[in-house]
Amino acid sequence: MSILNLLKIAFRALRRNKLRAFLTMLGVIIGVAAVIAMMAIGQGSKQSIQSSLSGMGSNMITVQPQSNTPGSVRLAGSSIQTLKLEDVEAIKRLRSDNINGLSPVVSSGGQAIKGANNWPTSITGIVPDYLHIRQLELQDGIMFSDNDVKKSAKVCLLGKTVIDNLFTDGSNPIGQIIRFKSIPFQVIGTLVPKGQSNFGQDQDDIILAPFTTVRNRITATTYLQSIYASAVSEAASDAATAEITASIRESHKLLPSQDNDFQVRTQAQLIATITATSSMLTVLLTAIAGISLLIGGIGIMNIMYVSVTERTREIGLRMSIGARGKDILMQFLIEAVLISITGGILGVLLGITSAYLIAYFLQWPILISQSSIVISFLVCGVTGIFFGYYPAQKASKLDPIEALRYE
Amino acid sequence: MANKILELHELKREFVMGEMTVRALKGLSFEINAGEFVTIMGSSGSGKTTLLNILGCLDKPTEGSYFLDGIDIKGLDRDELAGLRNKKIGFVFQSYNLLPRTNALENVELPLFYNKEITADERKERAIKALEAVKLSDRFDHTPSQLSGGQQQRVAIARALVNEPVMILADEATGNLDTRTSYEIMALMQDLNAQGKTIVFVTHEPDIAAFSSRTIMLKDGKLQKDSINENPRSAKEALASLPTSDDY
């Protein structure tokens, strides 16, 4: 009994019951389509979150003040004044190979004014390193220099939202003067728009100015809101974090028994946390879709059992004209696998189509991975064999004499 | 040239039903030579069906021996018996047992699917020849539901012929047919017999037995009578003697 003959026999048997074969297949089609579409949505949203987070600087390390409960009173984060410029100097003195960018950050909210226009925003005081730490790019103009920082120069860079609201006439902002909290700043550059962050924040609603200018003329404080640094690579970010932690602890003169009065976070950790949530979502969606595939498989088993009973005489006939038990087993097994594989192919097509329809109509990010197609296809084949085996075995064990007389 | 197709010696078949043992065949011995047209007759309960199952290699005797074309079936397992059925026996059933929604040609091809020595082209060629032999060359693509009972039985006979068996084994093959169609089928059987086919025909109608060259009567699992029919009736003549059309 050649495989080709068996295939032909199984195919002819299915052809005799097209509608039933199709209805049985439908369970598998829907199951596979659901798995593919759900994985496409899950992985798509995961990828989009991941890429926008890395867009914020995947090697970025942020240091923020944190209450260490002195005298059992917990203070709000914003009122904690533990980070100082000395901490930045301490980190800088490390000359670490793991760190390739470092910037103190002070910021202040307030009204930006240009002529008759004004806009509530905030100003961020930084050093030139900040641009590459945050992966910001200049659209036009130039970045201020370290010298400008030293001199507390009254220069600034604007984000697109600020430009749109202050320069409503569409004139070129470069070279013009704006005021922030009555301090005049000359615009020397504009930033490439970054759009909304994952948290719904407008990343273009910013004014960047030299750190010293903001600290001396606007906030008039000695403490820092935060320190931004960047590791040379994602792999180096753990080592960099450890070095930064150690040097700030030393500079804060913390005893080993004391907790940190600051918090060091890497972007990598943030990405891991957020993508873990979305991975879980993908797993959940896929599991639900997988259940429908399982139900499709049970449908195959059900129909194959009915089919074996209904075709008892056919089985008896086949045996009487020379089919061995093995041939009957293979025939029914191949029928089941043909149903599930054909259902799998149609399901993959339907799944891809519906994923694209979702992307088109709902504007959701999707990602159809080859692995999801291969996996659901394999699962289909296994489903066919698994759920087809018992009915096929039942068929092959029939006694030809009784099967022929079966009414 | 007595080429023995069948050889039965003290054949016994017993069924164990709970504590009771039913002795269906109580020691049968006979031989059938190539080219014979034998009818096996007997009332119900005579062991006819049991004998048929054994002759068809669907069942094995409890005791005694059965040689089919020189092969002792005693030592064969399930799969080997299936192979033997495929090559040596052509079954014709009372209820035709054609695959529904499958055309005549594909129905006739069926036994050859289980013989891997036969190529697809050869399969088709032989199925066409078999259908021509039963005079259905214009019905290749008709499904059973598009054929009359007699035509369906002829497709079934073509299916029995297609693997060129040493013996055609018919089980009440005319049981579902009216007299005229029965005679047509018997005429076909006689034709095939004249071409050298060995035919074993199980029936309970003495009318049908008259067409054969030999009749074996069974009673209570034993051979009652084994008689040579010197002058078998010709089915063609019988057909001609029937009124040409029905009265209604």
Task: Give the least confident one: A42-51, A331-340, A355-364, B116-125.
Answer: A42-51
Task: Give the least confident one: A73-87, A361-375, B90-104.
Answer: A73-87
The highest-confidence range among A199-208, A270-279, B39-48, by mean pLDDT, is B39-48
Which run of H or of E encompasses B21?
A: strand B20-33
Classify residue A204 by its DSSP letter.
T
SS3 A54: helix
Closest partner residue to A322 among B59, B99, B115, by Cβ? B115
In which band, very low, low, confident or very high, does the pLDDT at B227 lie, cut at 50, 70 and 90? very high
**Chain A residues touching residue B101 (CB < 8 angstroms):** 16-17
SS3 B240: helix
Classify residue A225 by its DSSP letter.
S
In which band, very low, low, confident or very high, does the pLDDT at B1 lie, cut at 50, 70 and 90? very low
Average pLDDT of the residues in A111-126: 91
Average pLDDT of the residues in B160-175: 92
The highest-confidence range among A46-55, A78-87, A127-136, by mean pLDDT, is A127-136
What pLDDT is stored for residue A94 in this prediction?
A: 85
Q: What is the pTM of this model?
A: 0.75
Phi, psi (degrees; rounded to nearest 5) at A244: -65, -45
**Chain A residues touching residue B162 (CB < 8 angstroms):** none
Cβ–Cβ below 8 Å for B79 and A326? yes
Interface test with A, best of B99, B113, B171 (most A CBs within 10 A): B113
Residue A187, pLDDT > 60, answer yes
Residue A320 in contact with residue B91, Cβ under 8 Å? yes
Average pLDDT of the residues in B142-157: 94
Question: In the Cβ-directed half-sphere of B150, how many Cα atoms lie within 13 Å?
Answer: 15
Mean pLDDT for chain B overall: 91
Whole-angstrom Cα distance, residue A149 to residue A214?
Answer: 10
A288 CA to centre of own chain: 20
What pLDDT is stored for residue A185 in this prediction?
A: 94
Q: What percent of chain B has pLDDT over 70?
A: 97
Q: Which of B217, B198, B209 is nearest to B160 (CA)?
A: B198
Side chain identity, residue A398: L
Whole-angstrom Cα distance, residue B157 to residue B145?
Answer: 17
Residue B220, pLDDT > 50, answer yes
Whole-angstrom Cα distance, residue A56 to residue A158?
Answer: 17
Query: What residues have CB less than 8 Å from A267, skipping those under 6 apart?
Result: A53, A54, A56, A57, A58, A59, A60, A61, A62, A237
Task: Give the least confident one: A94-108, A279-293, A387-401, B216-230.
Answer: A279-293
Cβ–Cβ below 8 Å for B114 and A16? no
Classify residue A60 by its DSSP letter.
E
Strand pairing of B199-202 and B167-171? parallel
Mean pLDDT for chain A overall: 87
What pLDDT is stored for residue B247 in this prediction?
A: 54
Question: With left for phi above 0 and alpha for psi between -120 and 50, is residue A174 left, alpha or beta?
Answer: beta
Strand pairing of B167-171 and B4-17? unpaired
Question: In the Cβ-directed half-sphere of A349, how many Cα atoms lie within 13 Å?
Answer: 5
Q: Which residues pair with B40 in a beta bridge?
A: B202, B216
Q: Which residues pair with B8 in a beta bridge?
A: B30, B66
What pLDDT is stored for residue A235 in this prediction?
A: 79
Interface test with A, best of B48, B52, B58 (most A CBs within 10 A): B58
Cβ–Cβ below 8 Å for A400 and B79? no
Q: Which residues pair with A155 in a beta bridge?
A: A186
Residue A312 in contact with residue A403, Cβ under 8 Å? yes
Residue with more model confidence, A170 or A186 = A186
In which band, very low, low, confident or very high, does the pLDDT at A72 lie, cut at 50, 70 and 90? low
Task: Give the least confident one: A45-59, A161-175, B121-135.
Answer: A45-59
pLDDT tens for A210-257 read 999 999 988 888 888 899 998 888 778 888 888 999 998 888 888 888
Phi, psi (degrees; rounded to nearest 5) at B14: -125, 145
Cβ–Cβ below 8 Å for A327 and B114? yes
**Would you state the structure tokens that stand for residue B36, as one six-digit string?**
């014979």
**Would you state the structure tokens that stand for residue B215, as one six-digit string?**
């009749």
Residue B195 contacts A, CB cutoff 8 Å: no
Whole-angstrom Cα distance, residue B238 to residue A115?
Answer: 121
Phi, psi (degrees; rounded to nearest 5) at A50: -60, -45
Closest partner residue to B99 among A8, A314, A322, by Cβ? A314
Closest partner residue to B113 among A9, A314, A320, by Cβ? A9
Tell me, what's the ipTM?
A: 0.93
Residue B103 in contact with residue B143, Cβ under 8 Å? yes
Cβ of A165: how many Cβ atoms within 10 Å? 17
Cβ–Cβ below 8 Å for B111 and A325? no
Residue A61, pLDDT > 50, answer yes
